Amino acid sequence: MKKVSMLVVLSLVALCAGAETNVLHVSLKELELFKRGPFRDQMIVDAAKVAVQSKDPEAIAIADFVRAHSALGLIHSNSFKLVEDATTNTLFALLPILPEDLADLFRIPVMRSMTNYSGEYMPAYKVAAVRADIHLSPFGQGMLVLHEGKHAYLHLIEHHACRDLDDVDRDEVEVRTFDCRVYQKIGGPAYEQIVARQMDSINQSLAAIHEKIGDVFPESLDYDPAIDSIFGKPASKRDASMRCTGIYVDVIFRLLERAYTGEALAKQKITFIRSAYEPATRTFLK
Q: Please name each of the domains of the chain with its CATH number.
A: 29-156 (3.50.50), 165-281 (no CATH)
pLDDT band for 16, please (50, 70, 90 cuts).
very low
pLDDT band for 284, please (50, 70, 90 cuts).
very low
pLDDT band for 92, please (50, 70, 90 cuts).
very high
Q: Which of 135, 130, 133, 105 is nearest to 120 (CA)?
A: 130
Whether the per-residue pLDDT at 268 is higher than 60: the answer is yes
Q: Own/partner pairs for 149-154, CB < 8 Å, 24+ apart?
A: 149/47, 149/62, 149/63, 149/65, 149/66, 149/70, 150/62, 150/174, 150/175, 150/178, 151/121, 151/123, 151/175, 152/65, 152/66, 152/69, 152/70, 152/92, 152/121, 152/126, 152/128, 153/62, 153/65
pLDDT tens digits for range 238-264? 999 999 999 999 999 999 999 999 999
Query: What is the mean predicted confidence (pLDDT) over 120-126?
Result: 89
For the chain, state the CA radius of gyration.
Answer: 22
Amino acid at 74: L
Query: What is the mean predicted confidence (pLDDT) over 85-107?
Result: 81
Under a CB-based contact definition with an 8 Å cutoff, are residues 14 and 20 in contact? yes
